[in-house]
């Protein structure tokens, strides 16, 4: 037995733990989120009075059990065990006292969580699963960052089209309507803002609120704040699916860790973890559909194609735009059908029929219902009048797309026309869809200079973060193009799937910007899967093996990418810690 294993967690236990998580990763993520929920209920102000007692007692009990086990196994003596136990009790007391007096409890939880995870990681030993252990460490830190964001973020903060609970419009009102009426909207959904969305996400949220409030006895506001536990889980599902996609292509070492770091710490997914609209669940289903399509391509069974149908259908039942993944999947279906048209065409026709029977009703029943009852177009998108302040249709689309004037880069935050203290219009509406995309991807539409009034040094950090993000986006896009044409671990059909999905999202984004000339249209949340796709191709580039004539160049670029992505992740964490920091008023 090595010295590290003598003082750490045995390889057998570590391997068993990793295998258990790997067997049911989505269930494990759900259990973690559900176990945390009673201790915070979605917001810092909802932490129950006895939570500190339970948490500190639980931590101390766990440490004391560990010390006792080490003593019984002869790894430490009686005196050492007593010293360790008393030290643990003292540190637990000091930590609990400081935490209870802290202004930013979320930061304490983040730092403490990272410390605990780091110690466990350092103590873990594994014979077979070092790669999985390293990835789990990245997952854990990424989860803690997202949890910190959720802990410090209200359901009314940095949201999109949520409005307020108890109001008469927005996603919040949609959920409240379902709770109150126990039925779908019985009116033309065009009449109320955001009620046009298919109801899966809103039904789940309504059930969550109802159970928490009326069964578990959670208060009115905490029950609604705790919705972020659901979105935190959905965000982790996206991370898990992304990891599964990365592992499909046999990525190892930094070729795996660098793209996983980018995905885990990208601001888009941090923001999504606290956003209670339907975007994050829709993205989770889309990425699930991609993974299931690859599994079906390897093994064309009814079970596998029905999994795709469920992901696409439920994604469309969450948000109709999830259908954007369907054309890319259809190309994979077509490729397999052409390949097997002489040997297995009848079996494939049966599978495609089964796919349609499940997917189409799931994905379109709500829209068909609304069309039959009120003649709402199947592809209806919520409309806004051209009189709203954020309207930018006074500029032609060509002008908006080609104008890269320096004025737009004076601030790295998305700009909105507004009234100043004197009641006069000031500023401008962001209008270039490309520039807006970069700004929005890192800071959303709600973060600006006023967010950092108490931390002015962050204005410099965010500027560095912005330009580093642009540089990495450009490099990742270039690497995607290179790897699409270069022979690698990804097969041509798989390249077609990812490439066409990426192009479909980008095309749809610019089409929306053309059709709906408003600043709010230029939002990165509509194309968040592009981060995962480009990261996968970055990993494929870094995974180029020996005997390649450009190996030295690949190693050099990979080393630079590792440093830049590391810096990007650090800046992302620092930025969102600053964004979530409570405002201290004297």
Got the DSSP string for 103-155? S-HHHHHHHHHHHHHHHHHHHB--SS-HHHHHHHHHHHHHHHHHHHHHHT--T
Q: How many domains does the chain have?
A: 3
Domain membership of residue 541 (yes or no) is yes
Q: Which helix (H) or strand (E) holds 367?
A: helix 345-374
CA atoms within 13 A on the CB side of 51: 17
200: nearest Cα among 285, 317, 321: 317
**C-alpha–C-alpha distance, residues 161 and 232, integer Å:** 18
Answer yes or no: do 106 and 239 share one domain: no
Q: Are 146 and 114 in contact (CB under 8 A)?
A: no
Domain membership of residue 414 (yes or no) is no
Overall average pLDDT of the 49-67 stretch: 75
Answer yes or no: do 217 and 74 share one domain: no
Overall average pLDDT of the 114-130 stretch: 83
Domain membership of residue 395 (yes or no) is no
Overall average pLDDT of the 268-291 stretch: 97
**C-alpha–C-alpha distance, residues 195 and 529, integer Å:** 25
Q: Is residue 456 helix, strand or coil?
A: coil
Residue 267 has pLDDT above 50, yes or no: yes
Percent of the chain with pLDDT over 90: 69
Q: Which of 102, 122, 151 is the last residue of a domain?
A: 151
**C-alpha–C-alpha distance, residues 443 and 458, integer Å:** 13
Least confident interval from 40-44, 166-170, 373-377? 40-44
Q: Read off the pLDDT band of 573 (50, 70, 90).
A: very high
**One-character DSSP codes across 212-261:** HHHTS---HHHHHHTHHHHHHHHHHHHHHHHHHHHHHTT--THHHHHHHH
Answer yes or no: do 243 and 218 share one domain: no
Domain membership of residue 420 (yes or no) is no
Answer yes or no: do 279 and 221 share one domain: no
Helices 51-72 and 25-40: crossing angle, nearest 10°? Answer: 130
Residue 412 backbone phi and psi in degrees, to 5? -90, 0
Q: Which helix (H) or strand (E) holds 419?
A: strand 418-419
Q: Read off the pLDDT band of 548 (50, 70, 90).
A: low
- Residues in CB range of 364: below 8 A, 6 or more apart: 316, 378
DSSP 8-state secondary structure symbol assigned to residue 425: E
Percent of the chain with pLDDT over 70: 97
Q: Read off the pLDDT band of 181 (50, 70, 90).
A: very high
CB atoms inside a 10 Å sphere around CB 487: 8
Beta bridge partners of 400: none
Bridging pattern class, strands 418-419 and 425-426 = antiparallel
Overall average pLDDT of the 134-160 stretch: 94
Residue 137 has pLDDT above 70, yes or no: yes
Domain membership of residue 92 as a residue range: 3-151
Torsion of CA 540, 543, 544, 550, to 10 degrees: 100
Overall average pLDDT of the 236-246 stretch: 97
Overall average pLDDT of the 490-517 stretch: 95
Q: Read off the pLDDT band of 583 (50, 70, 90).
A: low
Burial zone of 14 (CB within 10 Å; 0-12 exposed, 13-18 middle, 19+ buried):
buried
Q: Read off the pLDDT band of 549 (50, 70, 90).
A: low
Q: Read off the pLDDT band of 75 (50, 70, 90).
A: confident
Per-residue pLDDT of 324-340, as tens digits, reads 999 999 999 999 999 99
pLDDT value of position 84: 86
Domain membership of residue 256 (yes or no) is yes
- Residues in CB range of 439: below 8 A, 6 or more apart: 412, 413, 414, 430, 466
Least confident interval from 69-78, 277-286, 557-566? 69-78
273: nearest Cα among 580, 568, 23: 580
Q: Are 249 and 490 in contact (CB under 8 A)?
A: yes
pLDDT value of position 8: 62
Q: Read off the pLDDT band of 2 (50, 70, 90).
A: very low
pLDDT value of position 1: 46
**C-alpha–C-alpha distance, residues 102 and 584, integer Å:** 12
User: Max Cα separation, the chain?
Assistant: 79
Burial zone of 61 (CB within 10 Å; 0-12 exposed, 13-18 middle, 19+ buried):
exposed
Count of helix runs (H) and strand runs (E) in the chain: 23, 2
Overall average pLDDT of the 514-534 stretch: 95
- Residues in CB range of 545: below 8 A, 6 or more apart: none
Residue 3 has pLDDT above 50, yes or no: no
Answer yes or no: do 181 and 241 share one domain: no
Answer yes or no: do 518 and 558 share one domain: yes
Q: Read off the pLDDT band of 56 (50, 70, 90).
A: confident
Answer yes or no: do 349 and 477 share one domain: yes
Q: Which of 86, 116, 151 is the last residue of a domain?
A: 151
Mean pLDDT, the chain, rounded, equals 90
Q: Are 509 and 571 in contact (CB under 8 A)?
A: no
Q: Are 470 and 568 in contact (CB under 8 A)?
A: no
Residue 586 has pLDDT above 60, yes or no: no
- Residues in CB range of 384: below 8 A, 6 or more apart: 391, 516, 518
Answer yes or no: do 184 and 286 share one domain: no
Least confident interval from 113-122, 125-134, 268-277, 536-545? 113-122
CA atoms within 13 A on the CB side of 86: 5
Least confident interval from 13-22, 471-480, 524-533? 13-22
Answer yes or no: do 348 and 271 share one domain: yes
Torsion of CA 478, 481, 484, 488, to 10 degrees: -20
Domain membership of residue 431 (yes or no) is no
184: nearest Cα among 174, 170, 169: 174
Highest mean pLDDT among 427-431, 487-491, 528-532: 528-532
Answer yes or no: do 178 and 275 share one domain: no
Domain membership of residue 281 (yes or no) is yes
461: nearest Cα among 414, 412, 416, 523: 412
Domain membership of residue 405 (yes or no) is no
Q: Are 164 and 453 in contact (CB under 8 A)?
A: no
Q: Which of 151, 185, 214 is the last residue of a domain?
A: 151
Answer yes or no: do 497 and 471 share one domain: yes
Residue 204 backbone phi and psi in degrees, to 5? -60, -45
Answer yes or no: do 216 and 235 share one domain: no
Overall average pLDDT of the 95-122 stretch: 80
Residue 61 has pLDDT above 70, yes or no: yes
pTM: 0.92
Q: Are 298 and 305 in contact (CB under 8 A)?
A: no
**C-alpha–C-alpha distance, residues 356 and 353, integer Å:** 5
Q: Read off the pLDDT band of 547 (50, 70, 90).
A: low
């Amino acid at each position: 037995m090595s010295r590290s294993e003598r003082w750490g967690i045995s390889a057998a236990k570590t391997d068993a733990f990793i295998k258990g998580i790997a067997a049911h990763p989505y269930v494990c993520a759900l259990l973690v989120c559900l176990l945390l929920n009673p201790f915070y209920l979605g917001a810092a102000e909802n932490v129950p009075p006895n939570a500190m007692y339970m948490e500190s007692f639980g931590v101390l009990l766990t440490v004391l059990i560990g010390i006792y086990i080490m003593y019984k196994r002869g790894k430490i003596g009686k005196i050492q065990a007593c010293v360790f136990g008393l030290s643990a009790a003292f540190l637990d007391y000091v930590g609990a006292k400081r935490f209870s007096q802290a202004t930013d409890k979320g930061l304490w939880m983040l730092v403490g969580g990272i410390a605990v995870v780091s110690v466990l990681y350092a103590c873990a030993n594994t014979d077979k699963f070092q790669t999985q252990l390293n990835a789990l460490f990245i997952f854990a830190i990424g989860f803690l960052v997202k949890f910190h964001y959720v802990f410090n973020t209200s359901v009314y903060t940095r949201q999109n089209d949520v409005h307020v609970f108890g109001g008469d419009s927005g996603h919040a009102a949609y959920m409240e309507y379902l709770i109150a009426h126990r039925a779908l909207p019985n009116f033309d959904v065009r009449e109320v803002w955001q009620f046009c969305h298919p109801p899966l996400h809103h039904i789940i949220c309504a059930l969550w609120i109802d159970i928490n409030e009326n069964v578990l006895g959670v208060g009115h506001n905490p029950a609604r704040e705790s919705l972020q536990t659901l979105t935190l889980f959905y965000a982790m599902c996206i991370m898990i699916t992304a990891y599964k996609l990365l592992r499909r292509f046999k990525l190892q070492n930094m070729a795996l860790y660098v793209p996983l770091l980018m995905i885990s710490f990208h601001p888009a997914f941090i923001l999504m973890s606290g956003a209670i609209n339907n975007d994050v669940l829709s993205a989770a289903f889309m990425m699930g559909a991609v993974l299931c399509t690859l599994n079906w391509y390897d093994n064309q069974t009814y079970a596998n194609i029905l999994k795709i149908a469920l992901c696409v259908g439920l994604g469309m039942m969450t948000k109709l735009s999830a259908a954007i993944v369907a054309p890319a999947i259809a190309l994979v279906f077509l490729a397999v059908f052409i390949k097997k048209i002489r040997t297995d065409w009848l079996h494939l026709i049966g599978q495609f029929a089964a796919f349609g029977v499940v997917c189409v009703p799931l994905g379109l029943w709500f829209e068909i219902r609304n069309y039959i009852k009120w003649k709402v177009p199947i592809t209806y998108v919520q409309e806004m009048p051209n009189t709203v302040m954020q309207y930018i249709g006074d500029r032609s689309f060509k002008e908006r797309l080609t104008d890269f004037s320096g004025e737009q880069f004076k601030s790295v935050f998305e700009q909105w026309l507004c009234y100043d203290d004197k009641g006069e219009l000031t500023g401008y509406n962001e209008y270039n869809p490309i520039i807006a995309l970069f700004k929005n991807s890192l800071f959303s539409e709600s973060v600006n200079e006023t967010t950092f009034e108490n931390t002015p040094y962050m204005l410099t950090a965010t500027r560095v973060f912005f330009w580093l993000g642009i540089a990495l986006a450009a490099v990742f896009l270039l690497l995607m193009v290179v790897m699409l044409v270069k022979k690698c671990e990804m097969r041509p059909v798989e390249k077609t799937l990812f490439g066409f999905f990426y192009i479909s999202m980008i095309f749809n984004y610019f089409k929306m910007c053309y059709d709906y000339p408003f600043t709010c249209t230029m939002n990165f949340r509509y194309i968040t899967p592009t981060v995962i796709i480009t990261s996968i191709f970055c990993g494929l580039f870094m995974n180029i093996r020996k005997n390649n004539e450009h190996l030295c160049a690949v190693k050099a670029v990979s080393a630079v990418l590792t440093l830049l992505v590391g810096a990007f992740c650090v800046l992302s964490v620092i930025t969102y810690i600053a964004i979530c920091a409570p405002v201290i008023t004297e």
